């Protein structure tokens, strides 16, 4: 465990060392800072030499649309009553993930020697969901991913409950439960 934990610290250190050499995001430079020249420079730095007039115009249109919109801090967002249903839903899902993980592994009667590998598999599932979601979000949109993610999570939870109920009768259902947990994490990462 100490090697695995130190590895994530090593990756964070590498990111801290190299992050100052990367340019800011072009939308951030234009929309937040109002720096047109910096935006174009960042586009060239990120995407190479070329004509980015179309992308720049799209950002300018977005800036015009959001001109009257006030950028809110995290505390202001938390005080906004219109986001309470979304916040409550997210908190319930996160709490259920945190509270049910250990119980599921205990219910599945997994051997103690397997649990570190299962934990590693959970982390890999989170990584897969982040990579997959970031590659498809522009194609499908957030609404479809949210609805699809919640539907997949509901289906996976029904299958997981079934596999946990049958794990005493069929030994292989224990491992099916673990796979379903990985799928649940991937569905959660893709959607909500």
**Cβ 185 vs Cβ 132: under 8 Å:** no
Can you tell me the distance from the alpha carbon of 166 to that of 177, in angstroms, rounded to the nearest whole number?
10
Lowest mean pLDDT among 47-56, 114-123, 147-156, 176-185: 114-123
Weakest-pLDDT range from 8-17, 111-120, 156-165, 183-192: 111-120
| 2: pLDDT strictly greater than 70 | no
Task: Give per-residue pLDDT as tens, 71-104.
Answer: 677 788 788 888 888 888 877 776 666 555 556 6
d(CA 182, CA 105): 12
- Among 105-119, 123-137, 150-164, 169-183, which is the least confidently predicted range? 105-119
pLDDT in tens, 20-32: 888 888 888 887 7
Dihedral sign of CA atoms 134, 135, 138, 140 in order: negative
pLDDT at 108: 62
């Amino acid at each position: 465990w100490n090697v695995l934990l130190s590895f994530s610290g090593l990756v964070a250190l590498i990111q801290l060392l190299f992050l100052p050499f990367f340019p800011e995001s072009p939308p951030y430079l234009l929309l937040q800072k109002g720096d047109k020249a910096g935006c174009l420079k960042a586009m060239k730095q990120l995407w190479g030499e070329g004509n980015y007039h179309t992308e720049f115009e799209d950002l300018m249109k977005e800036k015009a649309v959001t001109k009257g919109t006030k950028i809110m801090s995290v505390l202001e967002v938390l005080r906004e009553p219109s986001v309470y249903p979304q916040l409550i839903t997210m908190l319930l899902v996160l709490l259920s993930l945190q509270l049910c993980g250990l119980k599921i592994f205990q219910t599945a009667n997994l051997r103690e020697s397997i649990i570190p590998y299962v934990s590693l598999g959970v982390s890999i599932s989170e990584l897969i969901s982040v990579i997959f979601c970031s590659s498809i979000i522009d194609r499908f949109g957030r609404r479809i991913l949210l609805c699809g993610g919640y539907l997949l999570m509901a289906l996976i939870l029904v299958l997981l409950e079934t596999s946990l109920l049958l794990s005493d009768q069929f030994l292989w259902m224990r491992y099916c439960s673990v796979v379903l947990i990985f799928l649940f994490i991937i569905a959660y990462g893709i959607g909500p």
